[in-house]
Amino acid sequence: MSHVLDAICKRRSIRSYTGEAIPQDKLDAILAAGLLSPTSQNRRPWQFYVTTDSAMLAELSRAKRAGAAFVADASAAIVVAVDEDIDTWVEDESIALAYMHLMASDLGIGSCWVQMHLRSAQDGTDTEDKVRQALELDPRQRIVGVLALGVPAQNPTAHSVKDADFDRVHYR
């Protein structure tokens, strides 16, 4: 099997972490995967914000009503931000997040995408606003999601190529 397909099968969303720090060389390789991801018109419009600060991770975990609580126990989070004038900000950020998620998995680092765009916090505040506040970002900086990272404390079953549902493929 292709080593890329093998890596794709092994990738799972990991939401439980040991609390150990992520070695800097692994964090750098994960960031490199994001920085080398394709972007519309090769604009590379993103900025990558990394935090390992437990208070900031806790703040990010509260940025939305549900599905982010585990961020408080992550060892790091990467927030990708793009100026709202870039019409492909969602696509450019999403691809960077996906590349970093796959890279992390290949390095034995657990990670999970946490949706921040089009979500709200418990108090009704827009989730993106909460993330911008936490990181002191400009209101023009848009955020589709955050990648939570840590040394895995769980080992879910890998996907299998057999799970690929070819009934969804249509040749016309």
Ligand X SMILES: Cc1cc2nc3c(=O)[nH]c(=O)nc-3n(C[C@H](O)[C@H](O)[C@H](O)COP(=O)(O)O)c2cc1C
Residues of this chain that bind ligand X (CB under 6 A): 12-13, 15, 67-68, 112-115, 145
Q: What is the DSSP letter of 64?
A: S
74 SS3 class: coil
Q: Give me the amino acid identity at 23.
A: P
Torsional sign, CA 158, 160, 165, 169: positive
The whole-angstrom separation of Cα 15 and Cα 110 is 7
Nearer to ligand X, 42 or 160 (CB): 160
Which of 13/40 has CB closer to ligand X? 13
Q: Which is closer to ligand X, CB of 86 or CB of 95?
A: 95
Least Å from the CB of residue 60 to ligand X? 11
User: CB of residue 171 vs ligand X: minimum separation in angstroms?
Assistant: 26
Rounded to a whole number of angstroms, the minimum distance from the CB of residue 111 to ligand X is: 10
Which residues touch 156 (CB under 8 Å, ≥6 apart)?
12, 14
Q: What minimum distance in Å lies between the beta carbon of 31 and ligand X?
A: 19
